[in-house]
Amino acid sequence: MRDFTLKIYIQLISNFKNHNYKFQTIEKYLIEPSAKVLILRHDVDKRPVNSLVFAELENNLNVKSTYYFRLTKDSFNEEIIKKIVKLGHEIGYHYEDLALAKGDFEKAIYSFKKNLGILRKYYPVKTVCMHGSPLSAWNNIKLWEKYKLEEFGIIGEPYISSEFKEFFYLTDTGRKWNNNKFNFRDKINSGYNINICDSRDISGNLMKNKLPDKIIISTHPQRWDNNYFKWTQEFVYQNIKNIIKYFISSRKIDV
């Protein structure tokens, strides 16, 4: 069976729901943390339409998640952001200002503030998450060695906030889960030693009650199977919601 398809994603969410995990956004968790929680974090590096499909699909399954947008033309899309906000998900800033400013802290914090302001036209952004910028010598997270997140009304950053240290992290890299070979900066060392390669391993461990109560699944929707996404691209500005409902209910194609 192919992995990293929408069908697999639907199954994963359903399995966690059946095991009584509460779905919270990063923001919600920081405000009122649940004891047994699954956080779905999405980094919208590019192809934002894929994230819209994820957002609609989650909405159909009655769960809320967090979408971190970059301000680049590959990621930022006003219409898509508005639609994701309307579905009740959280929007945050996937910042890369220090890398883009080539290590100039003043320039970087100026553009961070400006970009945050742009995103806040659509959503009262409370959390941000660094972009890995694998090709850059500068690590975006270092911005916070000089400045403070709170000064910008930010309550959390998944790579910094201590609240997330106790979480078990699952991240989609190179079409595998937790593939450290491809993870450069996008990784968090949690203390868990649970071997997971494909999505079936996640569900298998879940069935055997081997997964911890606090989990973050971090995905990049542009990395997921693209056949279906290419097709839906045409329908972004039409009623994508009904199309997705149709596919979920009919299961006629391999989503």
16 versus 95: smaller Cβ distance to Zn ion = 95
Helix (H) or strand (E) holding 84: helix 78-86
28 versus 131: smaller Cβ distance to Zn ion = 131
What's the rounded Cα separation, in Å, for the pair 235 and 63? 23
43 versus 172: smaller Cβ distance to Zn ion = 43
Binding residue for Zn ion, selected from 48, 131, 177, 190, defined by CB under 5 A: 131
Give the binding range for Zn ion (CB under 5 A) out of 5-13, 28-36, 126-134, 144-152: 126-134
Instruction: Mention every residue, 6+ apart, whose C-beta is less than 8 A from residue 252.
Output: none
Distance in angstroms between the alpha carbons of the first and the last residue of the chain: 12
Residue whose CB is nearest to Zn ion in the complex, by number:
131
Give the binding range for Zn ion (CB under 5 A) out of 6-14, 130-138, 139-147, 192-200: 130-138
Closest CA to 71 of 117, 7, 8: 117
81 versus 255: smaller Cβ distance to Zn ion = 81
Which residues within the stretch 20-49 sit at the binding site for Zn ion (CB under 5 A)? 43, 45
CB 94, min distance to Zn ion, A: 5
CB 227, min distance to Zn ion, A: 23
What's the rounded Cα separation, in Å, for the pair 215 and 204? 15
CB 72, min distance to Zn ion, A: 10
Strands (DSSP E) found in the chain: 22-23, 37-44, 66-69, 90-95, 128-130, 168-173, 176-177, 214-219
In the complex, which residues of this chain contact Zn ion (CB under 5 A)? 43, 45, 131
